[in-house]
Chain A
């Protein structure tokens, strides 16, 4: 099949709302979306705690989060696999090779990235406001929630970075999900499989959808941030 014909077929798969493509795209969004939502509720407060907390081990925590930010997805996949496998500590839940396992793996993957970005953003605000918050007798919790609220628009970057990492990774979901057709097959694992099988139109169709989804989310986030900056300064 020629290069042009491959692309032509890829576009027709998208245009005809091919059932296989739609199913894979939907599962990808569900898995990565869930991981990012959970990651947001853990990663952002964790980053803020590392930014404003003054406790023993804080520096170690910061280094650990920064190091894990670049951890290979396959390594995270193996660790989660071991934890969820029959002989692992959480094996009795029977989660391996399910979308839930994929959500867990991606959540573990995005938390350090989101926490590291949040730490930087919140630390900058903390340096500006620390004295005034101290004078107003803000305790640790009040400071944390106030700073997260103040930085909410900048923290969109952390959420987007997490979403980008979750949607584009293949190693972890392949290991813990197993790439089972109709059950745990997401865009990245499908692209890898279909390319190796030689079904390039489907790979390209999924690739185009993947890039489009990430692009649209970034555009929406950019517009929201621009509006917020104009509204709140």
Chain B
């Protein structure tokens, strides 16, 4: 599956450029943070990686070949919660893999222990808090043992304690051998979790560098302003 290579990837819906010639290579380990101002193309990049968006131009290869049928999962900012229990929602992840119902529920119960939701297994998923819903979504993805997990702002709008719990789970998933690429606006989270940072603005990758170097010596003026929280809105758009 790895390396995942993007060469000159463009995405231009209705003539508007969202990704503008992205060149990128992702290895098989670690946590990569995708950062940049709103509208920079971060979420679109994740959607392109997981196959929801077909690039208008350029190429995307997986170990030099086509996208693998399985092994790539994405957790959205507002994850799907069907009208069912927490356990049923988590077990849903195994449904397309043809795992029998009883086995799905057993494995879902096990993974709920790891995300500290075992005591909520029989509650309605829609009654969970935002942080608990993110943990549920992470559990659902983790259950399928993905090789690459894409997370779209998994801690947006969460309080510090919910954020810490989600970060703990992300670290565990990584330790389990899953490559993680996630978007975030949280600079502290980037230093706590990330191995490397992809900084995007105007649909272009401005930097792809280790986290420490990104914060210590940002290569671009835009990245420096972004880190300092001073990126003017005209530059962000």
Chain A: residues with CB nearer than 8 A to chain B? Answer: 128-129, 131-139, 142, 146, 149-153, 228, 231-233
Contacts and interface: CB of A to CB of B under 8 A. Distances in A.
Contacts of A133: 80
Nearest to B71: A137
Interface string B44-55: 000100111000
B69 A137 contact: yes
Minimum-distance CB pairs A-B, first 6: A233-B126, A232-B83, A150-B82, A132-B80, A232-B124, A135-B74
Q: Which of B52, B70, B79 has most A Cβ within 10 Å?
A: B52
Given A129-B80, A135-B50, A142 B126 contact: no
A138 B124 CA distance: 22
28 contacts: A128-B80, A129-B80, A131-B47, A131-B52, A132-B76, A133-B80, A134-B52, A135-B50, A135-B52, A135-B73, A136-B73, A136-B93, A136-B96, A136-B140, A136-B144, A137-B70, A142-B95, A146-B82, A146-B95, A149-B82, A149-B84, A150-B84, A152-B83, A232-B83, A232-B84, A232-B126, A233-B124, A233-B125
Contacts of A132: 74, 76, 79-80
A157 to B, nearest CB: 15
B83 A150 contact: yes
A152 B88 CA distance: 15
B162 interface: no
A210 to B, nearest CB: 33
A137 B96 contact: yes
Contacts of B79: 132
B127 interface: yes
Interface string B104-139: 000000000000000000001111000000000000
Contacts of A131: 47, 52, 76
B231 interface: no
Contacts of B83: 150-153, 228, 232-233
B92 interface: yes
Contacts of B50: 135
A138 B126 contact: no
A149 to B, nearest CB: 7
B220 to A, nearest CB: 31
Nearest to B97: A137
Nearest to A129: B80
B4 to A, nearest CB: 16
Kindly name the residue among B47, B83, B140 whose own CB sees the greatest number of chain A CB atoms within 10 A: B83
A146 B80 CA distance: 12
A53 to B, nearest CB: 18
Given A150-B82, A153-B83, A231-B124, A138 B52 contact: no
B180 to A, nearest CB: 15
A187 to B, nearest CB: 35
A64 B8 CA distance: 46
Given A135-B72, A136-B92, A146-B82, 7 more contacts: A133-B80, A136-B93, A138-B95, A138-B96, A231-B124, A232-B84, A233-B124
A233 B95 contact: no
